[in-house]
Amino acid sequence: MKEQELRELQNTLSWPEKIGQLIQLSGDFFQSEALAVGPKQKLGIDQDTVNLVGSVLNLTGAEATNHIQENYLANSRHKVPLLFMADIIYGYRTIFPIPLGLGATWNPALIKQAYQVIAAESRSAGAHVTFAPMVDLVRDARWGRCLESTGEDPHLNADYAKVMVEGLQGENLEGIASCVKHFAAYGAAEAGREYNTVDMSERRLRQDYLTGYKAAIDAGCKLVMTSFNTYDGMPATGNDFLLKDILRKEWGFDGVIISDYAAIQELVAHGVAADEREATQLAIEATTDIDMKTSCYAKQLEPLIKDGMISSKLVDDAVWRVLKLKNNLGLFEDPYRGASKENEEMNLLSDKNRALSRKVAAESVVLLQNKNNVLPLTPNQDKILLVGPYGDKQDLIGLWAVHGKTTDVTTLKEVLEKKLTSESFKFTQGCDMLDDYSFLGEFGATAEQIDSIGLSESQRESALAEALKLGEVADVIIFAMGEHTMQSGEAGSRTDITLPKIQQDFMNQMIELGKKKILISISGRPLVYTKEVNQMDAILQAWFPGTEGANAIVDLLFGDTNPSGRLSMSFPHNVGQLPIYYNEFKTGRPLTSKTHKGRFISKYLDSPNQPLFPFGYGLSYSEVLYNNLKLSSSEMTEKLIATISISNQSDRDCLETVQLYIQDVTGSVVRPVKELKKYKKVSLKAKETKTVSFELAREDLYYYKRDMSFNVESGAFIVFVGPNSEEVLESQFELI
Ligand code: BGC
């Protein structure tokens, strides 16, 4: 539709029709009128309101969306189609690894392909908008939503944000519209506790936390979701500074801002609005366009206009942004956008999509430890025993794969059974996932259901006895352990981030057998492996690896794929170190202090400062040597080239992620000890040596100076290059 026509259409809408465009309700409101009675009562709205609602939350499937759209349009006076928005975070039906795993690929080009697949699947299933990417930078593994983030680094996060948006939307929105979230700084919730306060300087906000959202906006992302947290005392959903000053004015974003789930109403609980009327006013004045899942806008906007409390233009502008989005998606021409059963059948879980998911999963897994090169294994050489709650479990897709199906997943046991002879492979579960499943009650499980989960006391005893018996005759024991799906994701904050105790107790007993031990760990966050690094020969961090996770893991175990994943988030020694991240600011008394000794330096009395596994870390089956770091000049005015030689010592091909960090030695404000600026994932043939070069430009060194201008001062810079943020070679130059 032409813009002029759209304007005319908007002018024909009544206030209730306009306001309807700004309301989002979930799928249950769109069932038959009789079935929707409960949800309507709960929200205190009537069918007339539902009939005017502009968008639907988390309802997908071509049959359902087409049916609802058809009915809606048939009964609508204005014929403005519904928008279907859903949480399609790391896969629609073909599930990829959780974003923390995607972060560990250090391969944005590959991740773009994954998001193209996600868009194609989602579009055929009737989704128009996805609430992705989630780009909240996170430095505290207690926060359960680490799962959804690509990690702790502003630069890497921004790279992923860009390709995710590009992959989802396509060049001309032939994919689905992307909604970046949660604006802003949601990942910095104090003490890693979900929905908690965020408070930080504007400098840190801009330097570290905003880069991901900005990259998504620059990539053309169509929507932004507000976050649940406060920033500088004001909840994001009513925060003028974040939404108006930064997002709208500075960044020029004229797309749709949607509140997070019930976040407008929560302005009352936050204590910045006395009631829903005030909450509505704060939110609309901050230019929050759509109210997700409350009746605030439905009930309060019109009276606010009538009473002269807000200008009608505020609402008209919001409506215009929503209509524009619908128009950009082509909904006025085709309200179904090609969603159909046939297209679903063609797209969902195709062999091609599965193959890509397997490749991405293999690149996401991080080999944390490999003593005496216990890995890779040789098929049918050793007697392998697979144990643990994830050994034969289909739930490898994690909490936020809401449209995925665990039944599509092949388990580790099934893959290994296919690959190996029955003499060389045995499986027994050996231990339960958790001691106690009662916390599932919070997620709606009944007492009866909780009782039926897991093993009874006597089953636990016999499971252990069986594992010990089979372990006696095995050469290698593979432990498939990890967090329960419900222990990460939204509202999955934890203060103990070790493997569940029952699993640890089991491993303690099994290691007494003295066999080779390999830990495959499934988790939605960095875990503390201080004990396991001593117990285990090898540790593979496998995240929730997705539909093809088990195949990918087995590819890695046997060396069909050489591990190449690198951590995008530090793994702490202990929870007391949190938050922990490599790019911390310099202190006056660093560990390396020359002026202060012993006690009076910045350190713990009972823990190292460094994490157990640093940012950027990950092993492969190839030893790669780094030599000869050279800078094209000892001075930089505009550009400089850094080169390094990397040499594969092994007989296998590998993928090596070369990382370049800088340190601004003296700034007008304190600067981080290291900052990632460049990286390349380089393929090396067996025994091959390559020279890798990076171009560093003046703009790469920009930061928010003392006066908050984004620029750089002349002076000394250190360049570090290496396989991770700690093991680096260094050189220095002077910026002129
Ligand atoms: C989450 C969002 C999500 C929304 C809609 C909220 O609870 O914070 O990430 O997009 O629900 O499901």
Q: How far is the CA of 260 from the centre of ligand 1 (A)?
A: 6
Q: Give the pTM.
A: 0.98
Whose C-alpha lies nearest to ligand 1, atom 6?
Answer: 261
Residue range 648-655: average pLDDT?
98
> Which ligand 1 atom minimizes the distance to the CA of 148?
9
Let me know how long the chain is: 736
> Which ligand 1 atom minimizes the distance to the CA of 131?
10
Q: How far is the CA of 89 from the centre of ligand 1 (A)?
A: 10
Kindly write down the DSSP assignment for every residue of 212-230, as one continuous string: HHHHHHHTT--EEEEPSSE
Estimate to the nearest angstrom the gap between the alpha carbon of 231 and the chain centroid.
Answer: 21
Q: How far is the CA of 125 from the centre of ligand 1 (A)?
A: 20
Whose C-alpha lies nearest to ligand 1, atom 11?
Answer: 261
Instruction: Give the per-residue SS3 of 98-160.
Output: CHHHHHCCCCHHHHHHHHHHHHHHHHHCCCCEECCCECCCCCCCCCHHHHHCCCCCHHHHHHH
Nearest to 114 by CA among 170, 176, 164: 164
Q: How confident is the model at residue 723 (pLDDT cuts 50, 70, 90)?
A: very high
Q: Measured between alpha carbons, how far is 396 from 174 in angstroms, rounded to an integer?
A: 30
Residue range 540-564: average pLDDT?
98
Q: Check: CB of residue 250 under 8 Å from CB of residue 194.
A: no
Name every protein residue with a CB atom under 6 angstroms from any ligand 1 atom.
Answer: 58, 87, 131, 181, 260-261, 490
Q: How far is the CA of 475 from the centre of ligand 1 (A)?
A: 46
Q: How far is the CA of 1 from the centre of ligand 1 (A)?
A: 31
> Which ligand 1 atom minimizes the distance to the CA of 228?
8
Q: How confident is the model at residue 413 (pLDDT cuts 50, 70, 90)?
A: very high
> Which ligand 1 atom minimizes the distance to the CA of 179?
10
Q: Is the pLDDT of residue 50 over 90?
A: yes
> Which ligand 1 atom minimizes the distance to the CA of 182?
9
Residue range 97-105: average pLDDT?
98
Q: How far is the CA of 181 from the centre of ligand 1 (A)?
A: 9
> What's the pLDDT at 735?
98
Q: How far is the CA of 362 from the centre of ligand 1 (A)?
A: 28
Which of 564-574 are b and which e, b meaning 16 or more Cβ less than 10 Å from the residue's Cβ?
Answer: bbbbbbbbbbb
ω into 579 cis (within 30 of 0): yes
Neighbours of 402 (CB within 10 A): 14
Q: Is the pLDDT of residue 240 over 80?
A: yes
Structure confidence by residue, pLDDT tens digits, 191-207: 999 999 999 999 999 99
Q: Rg for the chain (alpha carbons), in Å?
A: 27
Q: Which CATH number is 57-67+85-344 given?
A: 3.20.20.300
Best residue among 57, 87, 266 to mutate for probing ligand 1's pocket (most ligand atoms within 8 Å of CB) is 87
> Which ligand 1 atom minimizes the distance to the CA of 58?
12
Residue range 226-237: average pLDDT?
98
Q: Measured between alpha carbons, how far is 387 from 482 in angstroms, rounded to an integer?
A: 12
Q: Is 306 exposed, middle or buried (0-12, 13-18, 19+ CB in 10 A)?
A: exposed
Mean per-residue pLDDT over the chain, rounded: 97
Amino acid of residue 476: V
Q: Check: CB of residue 680 under 8 Å from CB of residue 657.
A: yes
Contacts of 283-286 spanning 24+ positions with Cβ under 8 A: 283/237, 283/238, 283/259, 284/310, 284/314, 284/315, 284/318, 285/238, 285/240, 285/310, 285/314, 286/237, 286/238, 286/239, 286/240, 286/242, 286/243, 286/244
Best residue among 229, 293, 490 to mutate for probing ligand 1's pocket (most ligand atoms within 8 Å of CB) is 490
Q: Check: CB of residue 148 under 8 Å from CB of residue 402.
A: no
- Where in the chain do CATH 2.60.40.10 domains reside? 622-735
Q: Measured between alpha carbons, how far is 124 from 220 in angstroms, rounded to an integer?
A: 22
Q: How far is the CA of 186 from the centre of ligand 1 (A)?
A: 12
Pick the CATH number of 622-735 from 3.40.50.300, 1.10.340.30, 2.60.40.10, 2.60.40.3500: 2.60.40.10
> What's the pLDDT at 97?
98
Q: Is the pLDDT of residue 31 over 90?
A: no
Token pair of 575 as six digits: 């929870």
Strands 689-697 and 639-648: antiparallel
Residue range 52-69: average pLDDT?
97
> What's the pLDDT at 106?
98
Whose C-alpha lies nearest to ligand 1, atom 4?
Answer: 261
> What's the pLDDT at 32?
80
Q: Is the pLDDT of residue 65 over 80?
A: yes
Nearest to 181 by CA among 203, 212, 152: 212
Q: Measured between alpha carbons, how far is 39 from 173 in angstroms, rounded to an integer?
A: 33
Whose C-alpha lies nearest to ligand 1, atom 12?
Answer: 87
Q: Across-strand partners of 180?
A: 224
Q: How confident is the model at residue 345 (pLDDT cuts 50, 70, 90)?
A: very high
Whose C-alpha lies nearest to ligand 1, atom 5?
Answer: 261
Q: Is the pLDDT of residue 593 over 90?
A: no
> What's the pLDDT at 461?
96
Q: Measured between alpha carbons, how far is 293 from 627 in angstroms, rounded to an integer?
A: 57
Amino acid of residue 559: G
> What's the pLDDT at 445?
84
> What's the pLDDT at 450?
87
- Where in the chain do CATH 3.20.20.300 domains reside? 57-67+85-344
With a pLDDT cut of 90, the percent of the chain lying above it is: 95
Whose C-alpha lies nearest to ligand 1, atom 2?
Answer: 260
Residue range 692-706: average pLDDT?
98
> Which ligand 1 atom minimizes the distance to the CA of 181?
9
Q: How far is the CA of 225 from the centre of ligand 1 (A)?
A: 9
Best residue among 261, 290, 293, 294 to mutate for probing ligand 1's pocket (most ligand atoms within 8 Å of CB) is 261
Q: Check: CB of residue 707 under 8 Å from CB of residue 607.
A: no
Q: Measured between alpha carbons, how far is 22 from 291 in angstroms, rounded to an integer?
A: 6
Nearest to 79 by CA among 160, 6, 168, 30: 6
Instruction: Answer yes or no: CATH 3.20.20.140 is held by domain 358-557.
Output: no
Q: 477 Cβ partners below 8 Å, 6+ apart?
A: 384, 385, 387, 471, 510, 513, 515, 516, 517, 518
> What's the pLDDT at 596?
76
- Let me know how many helices (H) and strands (E) the chain has, helices first: 23, 26
Whose C-alpha lies nearest to ligand 1, atom 8?
Answer: 260
Q: How confident is the model at residue 512 (pLDDT cuts 50, 70, 90)?
A: very high
- CA dist 370 to 34, 377, 478, 625, Å? 60, 12, 13, 17
Q: Is the pLDDT of residue 594 over 80?
A: no
Catalytic residues: 260
Token pair of 563 as six digits: 């591990």
DSSP letter for 311, please: -
Neighbours of 25 (CB within 10 A): 26
Structure confidence by residue, pLDDT tens digits, 669-697: 999 999 999 999 999 999 999 999 999 99
Which of 600-617 are b and which e, b meaning 16 or more Cβ less than 10 Å from the residue's Cβ?
Answer: ebebeeeeeebbbbbbbb
- Where in the chain do CATH 3.40.50.1700 domains reside? 358-557
With a pLDDT cut of 70, the percent of the chain lying above it is: 100
Residue with tokens 């770091």: 629
Q: Is 32 exposed, middle or buried (0-12, 13-18, 19+ CB in 10 A)?
A: exposed
Q: How confident is the model at residue 181 (pLDDT cuts 50, 70, 90)?
A: very high
Structure confidence by residue, pLDDT tens digits, 603-631: 999 999 999 999 999 999 999 999 999 99
Amino acid of residue 146: C
Structure confidence by residue, pLDDT tens digits, 121-179: 999 999 999 999 999 999 999 999 999 999 999 999 999 999 999 999 999 999 999 99
Residue with tokens 């928008």: 83
